[in-house]
Structure 1
Amino acid sequence: MKKIFHILFLAAAISSCQNRIPRENAETIYFGGTILTMENSPPQVEAVAVKNGKILFAGTKSEADHYANPTTKMVNLNGKTLLPGFIDVHGHLTSRAGTMDAVDLSPDPYGTVNSIKDLQNRIKNYITENKVTAQQPIIGNGYDDAIMTEHCHPTRAELDAISKTNPIIVIHASGHASVANSAMLKLLGITESSKDPEGGHLGRDKKTGKLNGKLEENASFTALLTLTNKISTGQNTESHAMQNLMKAQEEWLSYGQTTICDGRTMGESIALLQNAANQNLFKADVVYFPDYEYSKNDFNSLKSKYMKYGNHLKLAGFKFSDDGSPQGKTAWLTQPYLVPPEGQSKDYTGFPIFTDETLYTDLKTLFQNHITAQLHVNGDAAIDQALRVIKRLKDEGIYKPELRATLIHVQNSRPDHIQKIKELGVIPSYFPTHTYLWGDWHYSSVFGPERASFISPTHSALKAGIPFTIHHDSPVTPPDLITAVYAAVNRKTRSGMILGPDERITPLEALKAITINGAYQVQEEGRKGSIKAGKLADLVILDQNPLTIAPENIRSIKVLETIKEGNTVYKRN
């Protein structure tokens, strides 16, 4: 018996000595609130110690105190919730910067332009209030025919009614279409004899055959690039573009994101990002995906930057836009739209951007160079094409799942896609905010009840064991991942209908999709996405706990503070 007591005494003494061994001192310790790690074990901890931009320790408060010294900053969360910083896996940072000066035409719930009359008045007021000269081009952004009362796009004539001298172009909320007035068409060199560009469409009046001002897909993208080049005026414009890029970064930070995505970098935007990095202006990590078609000539110089951070900027792959927008009715479907857009027949199914052979050749170049791709696929025909081409490349030994190619949006998915996605080893990144903002429109006009109920099928992916992510696609919506989480959990439309209840997921599952799964998608799960010793101290503090608040109230959660590598980069006043 004495021997047993002696052993126990020695064990206690050793434990006591270990507790007194000096440990590395933390710069900051967070405690006093809910700390969600996004790790399976442990899912929650009492305290987190941080030093030199990394997490030293995550565990009990008593153990964390061993990392404290008189200079350690002790941050009491006072009941608030700490999580890993949110990861934006698909947004458009430079597009948001580029529309920063545009007239805001957003409808409810983010704006007030809920009719074509509202749109006309908004631009007229802008002209008056800003003393816009008679020939000055005007860009509006964010009009949405799905929500506006007329449920149709404005026309060239309706924009001419605002001004016949000011070139005016208004960009659809999806970013996949725009409408120009007569003066803008003239400025862009688009005439009645102009032909549709490859992968794009010039809208025409069904009765007269004349241009109605609508530009779809590559017709719209080309027009906007042309317009940008025409109004560029050298150094002042470059300086202003940088200011707008920094404003856009602040928006992302205010929504809790410590990793920001630029999902289709085009034209001068690549140089803009690189200049910002060279000037050390990024507070968050920025991962960008140049549009491959627009970057082919620069591919060899760009590929040398792949997966290498420099001053918080990393080229993380290349982007392909394989079709258009479902709410804008340019996505490529196998079955016709429930209600075809104006000017189209009842068998209209949208259209592809690429042939199979073009997509195959381009993806082969990337995958042979061990570079990944993001593929924008909204309609089920576009999803079919992407899966078909990637399967061919996988069968040839060229695509390997460790590349983690990503299908972006995957809105009009079908149940048979789930197993194919799993077998190929690609990642679906869903846009569940669609169920909230456009669910009623998808139900009654775009897809009909059955197809609409399966958009963003997160629960089916979860059941199949597929690592999926969710995104906000800003500036299609604000860079608001909390609303994306709300939508994935509730799938409630603006009218209150539950759209596809079987596809709802839990708040924790949705949070993992914007943290640890997001880190996996951008191939950084070893250093981001969860609260774990050794990972970057990328953190966000919320005013409420998403796991305990009523699910229907998740949208009310506010970001109080965003922390990048231990430094506060945003704090709510």
Structure 2
Amino acid sequence: MKKTLYTLFLAAVISSCQNRAPREKAEILYFGGPILTMENTPARVEAVAVKDGKILFAGTKSDADRYLEPTTKMINLNGKTLLPGFIDVHGHLTSRAGTMDAVDLSPDPYGTVNSIKDLQIAIKNYIKSNKIADKQPVIGNGYDDAIMVEHRHPTKTELDAISKTNPIIVIHASGHASVANSAMLKLVGITESSKDPAGGHIGRDKKTGKLNGKLEENASFTALLTITEMMSKGKDTQAHAMENLMKAQNEWLSYGQTTICDGRTMGENVALLEKAASQNLLKADVVYFPDYEYFKKDFEAFRPKYMKYDNHLKLAGFKFSDDGSPQGKTAWLTQPYLVPPEGQSKDYKGFPIFSDDTLYEDLKTLFQNHITAQLHVNGDAAIDQAIRVIKRLKDENIYKPELRATLIHVQNSRPDHIQKIKELGVIPSYFSTHAYLWGDWHYSSVFGPERASFISPANSALKAGITFTIHHDSPVTPPDLITAVYAAVNRKTRSGMILGPNERITPLEALKAITINGAYQLQEEDRKGSIKAGKLADFVILDQNPLTIDPENLRDIKVLETIKEGNTLYKRD
């Protein structure tokens, strides 16, 4: 008994001494509004103290006061909501920078091109207002046949009606297809005798067999790279490319993201990112995943950079594009598309990009070197292939779950995939905005009711205990994670239909998918993704609390401020 009393007395004395010991003093204190930690305990705190770019304390306001000094900057949220900075686990920063000068062909709700006539007018106006010289190439980006009233791609003939002398190419919103006019096809060397490249398709009129201007997958990517190289010849394009990269970075910041992803870095864009880092131009953390096939020969040069930040830039793995786009109808399915794209038969199922053997050998090289990968898999056949190949590597003790390989998009997932994904130890990252933007299209034209109802099955993953993330895939959409959260929570299509109500998740789970889960996917959960002492002071301030407003209104939430390591990088006017 005496020993117990003595032990309690000694503990009380030690605690008292610790309380009187000098504490580190905060440079900044946030208080006065909901602070959502994304931790299970505590889920919400009253105040956050920051010092040297890190979270010093998160807890009650009365306890936080002990960290104050006269110079502490006091930031009253005035009822606004503070969260961890959003984490972009799959977007395309350099692709967005590369399309910054393109004609914007986005449809509603982000643009105004809702028909082929609108597209023609937009390009004509661009040529006229910018005084584009005769024979100068013109690139448009973001047209979407799923939303335009005709529900089809434009044709070579319709682009020829804009100009027969200016080479014109328009890129589909998915990024997986494009359409070129006659002058552009001639410029990039595509003729009536051209054959489909590996992993790509050159479109032809079903009746005449003649080129219709449509290019899919590798046929489109090759043409775009050729055009880019031609347009940059003899020009000093580096300064302009850097300017556009900074514009793209600022766009991500305006949407609350403190970690930005470049999910398929190609061509000169690796050098562009490295130059931006060397010049201290990266304000947010940028993680990049070079296209493995493009850079395979340079693999040894990349290895020493893996998972090491250098001036906010980190090589986080490599990217594989295993199939195409469901809304563009190039994704690889096991069952035919409900309505095949023009020129295809009723049993058309899309197509793969890789053989199993190629994917196996490439992933084997990465996993043996303890390097992770993102695999773009939209169709269920592509998901099957990824699961099949990674399982083989896991059975051979080459793939280990701690690598956290990620299946990107996973749109046309099937219920039987869920347990297989869990057993493999890979992370599904869902492009949930599909349910909102293209849900009606998937229901009526792409998959049909049953398959469409299971796209982006976040709740099935949640119930199975799988850590999943959500992404925006910009520039397919703007870097808008709030709309992605809205879509995951409501699964309401543009027409108002609830697409797969059983796959809806709560606002909290959707927010975790773009914060703490995103940090886990990128192997940074020890320093990002939640508001906890010791982690980076990466925050976003919202005008409303996403956990208390009507879920139908989540899309209306505005980012007021984006803060990286205690420094404000974006503030809404």
Partner of 1:268: 268
Task: Give the match for residue 431 of structure 1.
Answer: 431
CA distance, structure 2, for counterparts of residue 210 and residue 10 of structure 1: 90
Post-superposition offset of 1:6:
12
Counterpart residue number, 1:128: 128
Q: CA separation in 1, counterparts of 2:227 and 2:41?
A: 53
CA distance in 2, matches of 1:235, 1:541: 42
Per the TM alignment, residue 21 of structure 1 is displaced from its structure 2 partner at its CA by 2.8
> Shift in Å at residue 233 of structure 1?
3.9
* Superposed CA offset, 1:350-402 (max 9, x none): 00000000000100000001000000000000000000000000001100000
Percent identical among aligned pairs is 86
What residue number does 1:469 align with? Answer: 469
* 3-state SS in 1 of match to 2:111: coil
How far off is 1:235 after superposition? 6.0
Which shifted more, 439-448 or 63-72? 63-72
> Could you tell me how far apart the structure 2 residues matched to 1:29 and 1:210 are?
67
Deviation at 1:304, TM superposition (A): 1.4
The question of 1:108 aligning with 2:103 is answered no
Aligned residue in 2 for 1:569: 569
Q: Give unmatched runs, 5+ long, in structure 1.
A: none
Q: C-alpha distance in 1, partners of 2:394/2:540?
A: 38
Matches within 5 A, 1:150-229: 150-229=150-229
Q: Deviations over 1:58-101 (max 9, x none)?
A: 00111111111011101000001000000000000000000000
Q: Which amino acid aligns with 1:122?
A: A
Unaligned runs of 5+ in 2: none
Give 1:135 shift. 1.0
In structure 2, relative to structure 1, the CA distance for the partners of 1:14 and 1:304 (3 Å cut) is closer
Q: Deviations over 1:234-262 (max 9, x none)?
A: 56311000000000000000000000000
Residue 243 of structure 2 corresponds to 243
Partner of 1:323: 323
> In 1, distance between residues paired with 2:532 and 2:246?
30
Q: Distance in 2 between matches of 1:147 and 1:10?
A: 71
Q: Which residue of 2 aligns with 1:140?
A: 140
The RMSD of aligned alpha carbons is: 1.6
Aligned pairs for 1:25-424 (under 5 A) are 25-233=25-233, 236-424=236-424
Q: TM-score, normalised by structure 2?
A: 0.98
Q: Secondary structure at the match of 2:237?
A: helix
Structure 2 distance, partners of 1:345, 1:412, is 20
Corresponding letter in the other structure for 1:237: T
What SS does the corresponding residue of 1:39 show, helix, strand or coil?
coil
Distance 2:298 2:245 in 1: 23
Counterpart amino acid of 1:166? N
Work out the CA distance in 2 between the residues paired with 1:456 and 1:23: 47
Residue in 2 aligned with 1:542?
542
Shift of 1:297: 1.1
Q: Alpha-carbon deviation of 1:7? A: 11
Identify the residue that residue 451 of structure 1 maps to in structure 2: 451
> Take 1:291 and 1:5, find their aligned partners in 2: how far apart are those partners?
66
Alpha-carbon distance, 1:332 to partner: 0.2
Paired with 1:502 and 1:572, the residues of 2 have a C-alpha distance of: 36
What TM-score, normalized to structure 1? Answer: 0.98
What is the SS of the residue equivalent to 1:236?
A: coil
Q: For 1:181-223, what per-residue CA distance to the aligned partner results, in whole angstroms no more than 9, with x for missing partners?
A: 0110111011111110000000001111111000000000111
Q: 2:466 is aligned with what amino acid?
A: I
Distance 1:103 1:207 in 2: 31
Query: Would you say how many aligned residue pairs link Structure 1 and Structure 2?
Result: 571
Q: Does 1:460 align with 2:460?
A: yes
Counterparts of 1:9 and 1:427 in 2: how far apart (Å)? Answer: 50
Partner deviation per Cα, 1:462-494 (whole Å, 9 max, x = no partner)? 000000000000000000000000000000000
Offset at residue 20 of structure 1 (A): 3.7
Per-residue Cα deviation, 1:395-430 (whole angstroms, up to 9, x for no partner): 011000000000000000000000000000000000
Give secondary structure in 2 for the equivalent of 1:38.
coil
